[in-house]
Amino acid sequence: MKWLSNLLTPIKSELFAMVGVLAVCGVGATIAGYLHIQRQDDQIETKDRQISDLATANKSWAARAAEQDRIRALEQKNVLLLQEKLALIEQQNTDAAAQLKKLEATNAEVKEYLSRPIPADLRRLLQKQ
């Protein structure tokens, strides 16, 4: 072992300098690595927060879309009901017109009443409607 000591003695100061430089570089690299990891953690936390905000927004949009679908279904149901009622009213109107024609053909009094002219005031009132 003495021979190793004799071999390293002339360059002992350079070895200590190299070890010191390596130690400083190691500490610097450790600090830089720590800061890099910390920055990545902060970025991940920010992204997670953004993702959770978007997930919350998506849930509210999904609820709103479901509500709109429910309203559309109700509107469609109402449209169908209104169409049925309109068809019923048109059928009743057709039946009433046929009944009036039949009454006009069979009853002389009704025929005479329907042949009278409509007064001007009543005609204007009917035209406004």
Give the confidence band of 39 by pLDDT, cuts at 50, 70, 90.
very high
User: Is residue 75 assigned to a domain?
Assistant: yes
pLDDT over 90 at 16, yes or no? no
In a domain? residue 80: yes
Q: Is residue 36 part of a domain?
A: yes
pLDDT band at 4 (very low <50, low <70, confident <90, very high): low
**128 located within any domain:** no
Could you tell me if residue 4 is inside a domain? no
Which residue range forms the structural domain that includes residue 88?
13-117
Predicted pLDDT at 124: 84
Is residue 7 in some structural domain? no
3-state secondary structure of 107: coil
Give dist(CA 109, CA 115) in Å, integer: 10
Q: CA 61 to CA 78: how far, in whole Å?
A: 25
Q: What is the pLDDT of residues 92-106, one digit of tens each?
A: 999 998 998 888 888
Domains identified in the chain, total number: 1
Could you give the percent of the chain with pLDDT greater than 70? 92
Residue 35, in any domain of the structure: yes
> What angle, 0 to 180 degrees and rounded to 10, lies between the N-to-C axes of helices 108-115 and 12-106?
120
DSSP-based helix, strand, coil % in the chain, nearest 5: 95, 0, 5
Q: How high is the pLDDT of residue 79?
A: 97
In a domain, 19, yes or no: yes
